[in-house]
Amino acid sequence: QVQLVESGGGLVQPGGSLRLSCAASVSILSFNVMGWYRQAPGKERELVARITSGGSTITADSVKGRFTISRDNAKNTAYLQMNSLKPEDTAVYYCNARTDWRIYWGQGTQVTVSS
């Protein structure tokens, strides 16, 4: 059974940084795409960034230049480096992984940006 476990969330002041990790229970080479999504209270879940098995990335305009997605195939882990955090980045962040047949989600990790 595939499991995705996020970690690294927490409370940070505006302008601060966090790095989220998504550890998979299987080789992430089996995933075509891995991504990070977020959902703020009262809002729909939205794509933050995603990375293909070949290393190509897409980043949402709202976080471009501040957030960077990466993956370490040897550690079966994807990362989201978040810099220059803003209060509007406050949300639950979810890891996502896709194969040709299925989509997997982690349980989410809370990120709160507040002074």
Q: Are strands 4-7 and 77-82 parallel, antiparallel or unpaired?
A: unpaired
pLDDT digits (tens, 9 = 90+) for 78-114: 999 999 999 999 999 999 999 999 999 999 999 999 9
Q: Are strands 10-12 and 109-113 parallel, antiparallel or unpaired?
A: parallel
If you ran DSSP here, which 8-state letter would residue 76 be given? T
Q: Tell me the C-alpha distance between 51 and 33, whole Å.
A: 6
Q: Which residues contact 74 (CB under 8 A, 6 or more apart)?
A: none
pLDDT bracket for residue 1 (50, 70, 90):
confident
